[in-house]
Chains A and B, each alone.
Chain A
Amino acid sequence: MLPFILRRFLSAIPTLFLIVTISFFLIRLAPGGPFDLEQPLEAKVMENLRRIYKLDRPLIEQYGLYLGALLRGDFGPSFYFRDFTIGELFARGLPVSMMLGALALGFAILIGGALGTLAAFRQNSAADYAVMALGTAGLTIPNFVVAPVLQIVFALMLGVLPVGGWNDGAVRNLVLPVVTLALPQIAVVARMTRAAMIETLRSNHIRTLRSLGLPNGVIVRHATRGAALPVVSYLGPAAAALLTGSVVVETIFGLPGVGRYFVEGALNRDYTLVMGTVVLVAVFVLLFNLVVDILYALIDPRVRYE
């Protein structure tokens, strides 16, 4: 197992390199630059800025400089948030986004998994239909609708929770954004769990357990493990997406996460910020794919990575 993990880490390096290279040149293809404001800057100022940020060098040299800095773990300075480096921005925003994402993911697994299991065991009952309806609703109603509705009901009408703000991660402030983030994930996990569970419950080895007169708890345990495989493979990329923040949720609830940097970086041509978010997401995706593979091997003894 250990050599496998090591090999995966090594094979991630060329992947990351490719991603960095492609996105470096892609963002440079976009018209405009980080210092093109509505009121054009004086030519002298512009020239100075470009020199300070080394934008006057040939593109290939800038690429080399960026790669070198990246290797030292330096994401460079932000072009837009001039007082900050990208590293500093991430250091502040990432814990917020990860906290929200991790909570949402946890609820998705617990609630979604439980609902899906319940629906599978009571297939075609009222409970099953309720779960499926909830699943469809959770998937189809977008979060920019859910979030304001939650704000209106719980903050403005009932006045039990704040409308937004981070407030150092107080529980009261977390509830609405986490619910908004978690709802569609709960829906997906519930539906996937239900489908996988129904499939497993029909399998011959579950029939064997029933024929042996084993209590329901044993059957649930065995079925859950079998049904976990497809859900786990969905959760890998989903976790990467959740933990790196959500633009919509962070904007609506006014939270200082990293999700909004995706959009802000791109709109402001903040080259280093765009590159930073690309690398961040890529690392998360690669990492969680590896986590999925390891979980797979732990769940299913037929899967062995040498």
Chain B
Amino acid sequence: MEEAAASPILSVRGLHVRFRTGQGVLHAVKGIDLDVSAGETVAIVGESGSGKSQTVMALMGLLAANGWAQGSARYRGEELIGLPPAALNRYRGSKITMIFQEPMSSLDPLYRIGDQIALPLITHGGLSRRQAQARAVDLLRLVRIPDPERRLASYPHELSGGQRQRVMIAMALANRPDILIADEPTTALDVTVQARILELLAELKHRLGMAIVFITHDLGIVRRFAERTYVMKDGEVVESGATPALFAAPQHPYTRRLIEAEPRGRKTPPPPGAPVVLDAKDIRVRFELRSGLFGRARHEIRAVDDVDLDIRAGETVGVVGESGSGKSTLGRAILRLVPAAGLVRFEDRNLTPLDPRAMRPIRKHLQLVFQDPFGSLSPRMTVGEIVTEGLLVHQPALTGRERDKRAAQALEEVRLDPSSRNRFPHEFSGGQRQRIAIARALILRPKLVVLDEPTSALDRSVQSEIVELLRELQQEHGLAYLFISHDLAVVRALSDRILVMKEGRVVERGTTAEIFTQPREVYTRELMAAAFLSSTARSHLTRRVRSACGGNRPDHPAE
């Protein structure tokens, strides 16, 4: 099973990481072994809480103050574990470097980009300030930041998330490291940006020949980039090996579960002639930005621009697009939760002229489930109270006992233990909380549910369970879904039809099969390529890498 290359430059043996917490000692990493050879790409895969990040944090001496590491991690024979920070600084930032999951907050907001990139160059490379600035320009060019000379004087808040991650990469590469550790480097970024950052990493690895350690939960990235993979679960490496072999014949049941966890299956189409539940025409939402103290100069943002949409009973319409494309705003506009122009019909009623009071009796037919399962449930209410709160408004005649019975039924429906209705949200996992949120939406027997990124905050295996549940509930109750997501795999598994949104407009629409097999728009194709390990995406990538290595690289658009 172990296929360590001849001479690993990084060799971890029996690494333990523990944290002192209020509830005793938490054993986060339980004696793992791991090897990285020169120039190799290794992935550490696992779900949240598997200890994959803490493993590399321990190597880098970046554990939180209440954590400590035991065991051995040798870089070219030198022991790293237990070194005081000053001694570790001989390797950190020069030989071994790291980029992080949070590009938005990983750069110091108070310092110019150029000064930050100069820091490792001055410290480890012994460059003068002036030399370091000159080298910083080269590095920014290397990571494809347009107009690098001018960018040196920018502050982080003037850069997009993708550009900030590029700056992080530039800093990490400043001293030509042997090993670059990338801890979920693209998780916080939009899919197309994500793809470009990954391409950049692959290309840079090719050109500079360093080893990359990818920490990720995304099997697509692993399959595409990693030569060898370690699968972690509950602080242990449960399986490791060459990536293709591991994916072809996973040995450990957990690995198999992870691989199968990618949302599968397709939705069965709604019966022909199913009634139209919601029909929206020319939906427009505009926000005004005021600039200047007295708001003289006004700037209008068209968050949603002339969108038509209809959903039939039992049908799911998927809305995909990157952040800022207006997909969430569209969902709120058709529920009349944001002021919007245009016509919205629900069954045979025109909702457009209704004021909030008149909307109230209709609201029970229109429900919304949010992305964040942690923020959207009141921490001070029991699950039963949360789930039945809507009944207080829409069916005030119910007695307490009847409501309690409905709560139990609702929880059973989302496959939760009905006896858990007296517990509080913090006692549940993310996936369970999302089930509670779904139960809350369904208890009123709605006709239409707007699902706003309901699976984005969840691990893959939990995602597929929620997808499964949503499909079953739809089948049972003939629900209409508007499913908003940037995750195309989930959208494919749930939707009958898809709208692709960009900058407030629908750029493409069609059935799921049409969109996925013959996307017409460049933007849609880009989204697809970013999201899937399709053969087109792979060849696309190798083409980029090849042309880049040939020195004749195409200029990437700035994200």
Contact = CB atoms under 8 A, between A and B. Distances in A.
Contact of B100 (A123, A204, A218, A222): A204
B397 interface: no
Interface in A280-304: 299-302
A214 B89 contact: yes
A120 B473 CA distance: 53
Contact of B107 (A205, A213, A215): A205
Nearest to A225: B110
Contacts of B105: 203-205
A214 B110 contact: no
Which residue, of B107, B123, B168, has the highest number of chain A Cβ atoms within 10 A? B123
A212 B109 contact: no
Contacts of B90: 213
A209 B89 CA distance: 11
27 contacts: A123-B65, A204-B106, A205-B106, A205-B108, A209-B119, A210-B61, A210-B85, A211-B93, A211-B97, A211-B98, A212-B92, A212-B120, A213-B88, A213-B89, A213-B120, A213-B123, A214-B119, A215-B123, A216-B86, A218-B119, A218-B123, A222-B111, A226-B108, A226-B110, A300-B109, A301-B110, A302-B109
A204 B93 contact: no
B183 to A, nearest CB: 10
Contacts of A209: 108, 119
B157 interface: yes
B408 interface: no
B123 A208 contact: no
Interface string A187-220: 0000000000000000111111111111110100
Given A203-B105, A214-B93, A299-B110, A306 B61 contact: no
A212 B106 CA distance: 12
B157 A301 contact: yes
Contacts of A203: 105
B176 interface: no
B92 A208 contact: no
A212 B89 CA distance: 8
Given A212-B119, A226-B108, A302-B157, 12 more contacts: A203-B105, A204-B105, A205-B109, A208-B171, A211-B98, A213-B89, A213-B123, A213-B124, A222-B108, A222-B110, A225-B111, A299-B110
B440 to A, nearest CB: 34
A299 B157 CA distance: 14
Interface string B100-123: 101001111111000000011001
Contact of B106 (A207, A215, A216): A207
B301 interface: no
Interface of B: 60-62, 65, 85-86, 88-94, 97-98, 100, 102, 105-111, 119-120, 123-124, 155, 157, 168, 171-172, 292-293
A213 B102 CA distance: 19
Contacts of B155: 301-302
Nearest to A223: B108
Contacts of B98: 211
Contacts of A299: 110
Which residue, of A7, A123, A209, has the highest number of chain B Cβ atoms within 10 A? A209
A210 B123 contact: no
Contacts of A7: 293
Nearest to B174: A212
A298 to B, nearest CB: 10
A300 B119 contact: no
A214 B85 CA distance: 10
A215 B124 CA distance: 10
A210 B168 contact: no
A302 B155 CA distance: 8
A214 B90 CA distance: 9
Nearest to B60: A211
**9 nearest A-B pairs in the assembled complex, by CB-CB distance:** A213-B92, A213-B93, A212-B93, A213-B89, A205-B108, A204-B105, A301-B155, A211-B98, A212-B120
B383 to A, nearest CB: 32
Contacts of A226: 108, 110
Contacts of B109: 205, 300-302
A124 to B, nearest CB: 8
A123 to B, nearest CB: 7
Contacts of B102: 204
A214 B120 CA distance: 7
A204 B106 CA distance: 5
A300 B111 CA distance: 9
A22 B414 CA distance: 64
Nearest to A228: B110
A164 to B, nearest CB: 45
Contacts of A301: 109-110, 155, 157
A204 B157 CA distance: 15
